Chains A and B, each alone.
Chain A
Amino acid sequence: MALDGSFGSETSASAGASGTAGSALFALMSFAFVGAVLAAGMGASALWGDGGYWAVGIFAAAAVALIAGVRLLRGGAAPVAGGMCIATDTLTGAFFLGIPGAIFASGHDGLAYGLGLGAGGLLMQLVVAPRFARSGAVSLPDLIRRRFPGRVVSLLTLAIITVSMTALLIGGLTAAGLVGMRLLGLDFATATVAAALGVLLCFVVRGTGGTATVNGLLYALLLLALLLPVVMLSAQWYGLPVPQLAYANSLWQLQGMEENLLEQDLADPAYLTPMMTAFLSLSPINFVGLILGLATGVAVLPSLLSVPLAGTSARNARHTALWGLGFVVLVLTLAPAVATHARQAIATLIADRTAAGDLPAWVFTYGKLGLVQVCGQAVSTASMAAQSCAALPDAGTALRLQDIAVDPDIAALALPEIAGLNGALTGLVAIAVMAAVIVTAHALLGVIADAVGLGSSSSAAAQPRGLRLASYAVAASVIAAGTVLATLRFGSIAEIASWGVVIAAAGLFPVVVAALWFRRANTWGALAGMIVGTGALAAYVAAQHYFPVPFFEATAPLSRGGVSGLEYFNELKAAWLDAEPGAAREAAWEALNVHARSVADWWGIRGPATVLLALPLGFLALMIVSLVTPRPETAP
Chain B
Amino acid sequence: MREDAQTSNDARASPRLPYVALALWVLLAFAVPLISQALNLVDLFAFPLGYLMVAQGSLIGFVLIGLMSARWQDRRDARRAMDS
Contacting pair B67 A108 (CB below 8 A)? no
Contacting pair A119 B29 (CB below 8 A)? yes
Main secondary structure of the interface of A (DSSP, over half): helix
Contact residues in B for A126 (Cβ distance below 8 Å):
17-18, 21-22, 25, 66, 69
Complex interface: stretch among A137-145, A325-333, A467-475, A621-629: A325-333
Query: Does B60 have its Cβ within 8 Å of any Cβ on chain A?
Result: yes
Contacting pair B55 A333 (CB below 8 A)? yes
Within 8 A of B (CB), among A95-152: 108, 111-112, 114-116, 118-119, 121-123, 125-127, 130-131, 134
Chain B interface residue count, CB cutoff 8 Å, equals: 43
Contact residues in A for B1 (Cβ distance below 8 Å):
none
Complex interface: stretch among A313-321, A371-379, A447-455: A313-321
Nearest CB in chain A to that of B37: its residue: A278
Nearest CB in chain A to that of B44: its residue: A248
Contact residues in B for A114 (Cβ distance below 8 Å):
55, 59
Partner of A322, one of B15, B60, B67: B67
Contacting pair B66 A6 (CB below 8 A)? no
Nearest CB in chain B to that of A334: its residue: B56
Partner of B59, one of A115, A127, A131: A115
Contact residues in B for A118 (Cβ distance below 8 Å):
58-59, 62
Partner of A288, one of B34, B48, B59, B67: B34
Partner of A115, one of B40, B46, B50, B58: B58
Q: Complex: how many Å from CA A314 to CA B45?
A: 38
Contact residues in A for B47 (Cβ distance below 8 Å):
248, 251
Chain A interface residue count, CB cutoff 8 Å, equals: 49
Q: Complex: how many Å from CA A131 to CA B18?
A: 13
Contact residues in A for B22 (Cβ distance below 8 Å):
126-127
Contacting pair A245 B45 (CB below 8 A)? yes
Q: Complex: how many Å from CA A246 to CA B37?
A: 22
Contacting pair A7 B78 (CB below 8 A)? yes
* Closest chain B CB from A228 CB (angstroms): 19
Contacting pair B10 A332 (CB below 8 A)? no
* Closest chain A CB from B28 CB (angstroms): 8
Contacting pair B15 A122 (CB below 8 A)? no
Q: Complex: how many Å from CA A244 to CA B10?
A: 43
Contacting pair B55 A5 (CB below 8 A)? no
Contact residues in A for B13 (Cβ distance below 8 Å):
5, 314
| CB-CB under 8 A for A252 and B56, given A5-B6, A7-B77, A291-B33 | no
| CB-CB under 8 A for A292 and B18, given A325-B66, A326-B63, A333-B60 | no
Nearest CB in chain B to that of A284: its residue: B34
Nearest CB in chain A to that of B13: its residue: A5
Q: Chain B 1-41 against A: per-residue CB contact (8 Å), 1 yes, 0 no?
A: 00000100110011101100110010011100110110010
Nearest CB in chain B to that of A318: its residue: B70
Contacting pair B59 A7 (CB below 8 A)? no
Nearest CB in chain A to that of B43: its residue: A248
Contacting pair A130 B15 (CB below 8 A)? yes
* Closest chain A CB from B61 CB (angstroms): 9
Contact residues in B for A287 (Cβ distance below 8 Å):
33
**Which of A116, A248, A332 has the largest number of chain B CB atoms within 10 A?**
A248
Q: Complex: how many Å from CA A278 to CA B29?
A: 15
Contact residues in B for A315 (Cβ distance below 8 Å):
73-74, 77
Q: Complex: how many Å from CA A4 to CA B3?
A: 13
**Which of B36, B47, B63 has the largest number of chain A CB atoms within 10 A?**
B63
Nearest CB in chain A to that of B36: its residue: A278
| CB-CB under 8 A for A248 and B74, given A114-B59, A126-B69, A292-B30 | no
Contacting pair A319 B70 (CB below 8 A)? yes
* Closest chain A CB from B45 CB (angstroms): 6
| CB-CB under 8 A for A248 and B45, given A6-B81, A134-B15, A278-B36 | yes
| CB-CB under 8 A for A252 and B17, given A121-B62, A291-B29, A329-B60 | no
Q: Complex: how many Å from CA A556 to CA B60?
A: 41
Q: Chain A 1-41 against B: per-residue CB contact (8 Å), 1 yes, 0 no?
A: 00011110000000000000000000000000000000000
| CB-CB under 8 A for A5 and B9, given A115-B59, A318-B73, A322-B70 | yes
* Closest chain A CB from B5 CB (angstroms): 10
Q: Complex: how many Å from CA A123 to CA B21?
A: 9
Q: Complex: how many Å from CA A325 to CA B54?
A: 16
Contact residues in A for B28 (Cβ distance below 8 Å):
119
Query: Does A176 have its Cβ within 8 Å of any Cβ on chain B?
Result: no
Contacting pair A249 B63 (CB below 8 A)? no
Q: Complex: how many Å from CA A237 to CA B32?
A: 31
Contacting pair A276 B33 (CB below 8 A)? no
Within 8 A of B (CB), among A271-297: 275-276, 278, 284, 287-288, 291-292, 295
Contact residues in B for A244 (Cβ distance below 8 Å):
56
Contacting pair B56 A333 (CB below 8 A)? yes
Q: Complex: how many Å from CA A321 to CA B74?
A: 14
Contacting pair B56 A336 (CB below 8 A)? yes
Nearest CB in chain B to that of A340: its residue: B55
Contact residues in B for A276 (Cβ distance below 8 Å):
40, 48, 51
Contact residues in B for A7 (Cβ distance below 8 Å):
77-78, 81
Within 8 A of B (CB), among A206-261: 244-245, 248-249, 251-252
Nearest CB in chain A to that of B47: its residue: A248
Contact residues in A for B54 (Cβ distance below 8 Å):
108, 111, 115, 278
Nearest CB in chain B to that of A321: its residue: B66
Contact residues in B for A321 (Cβ distance below 8 Å):
66
Contact residues in A for B37 (Cβ distance below 8 Å):
278
Contact residues in B for A111 (Cβ distance below 8 Å):
54-55
Q: Complex: how many Å from CA A225 to CA B22?
A: 33
Contact residues in B for A115 (Cβ distance below 8 Å):
29, 33, 54, 58-59
Partner of B66, one of A112, A245, A292, A322: A322
* Closest chain B CB from A519 CB (angstroms): 12
Per CB-CB distance, the 9 closest pairs between chain A and chain B, nearest first, are A130-B15, A119-B29, A248-B46, A122-B62, A118-B59, A329-B59, A333-B56, A336-B55, A5-B10
Please name 9 further chain A to chain B contacts, defined as beta carbons within 8 Å, in addition to the given A126-B21, A318-B70, sorted by A numbering.
A115-B29, A115-B54, A118-B62, A125-B70, A131-B15, A134-B14, A249-B46, A251-B51, A315-B77
Q: Can you spell out 7 A-B residue pairs with CB atoms less than 8 angstroms apart?
A: A111-B54, A122-B62, A126-B17, A134-B15, A245-B45, A288-B33, A517-B17
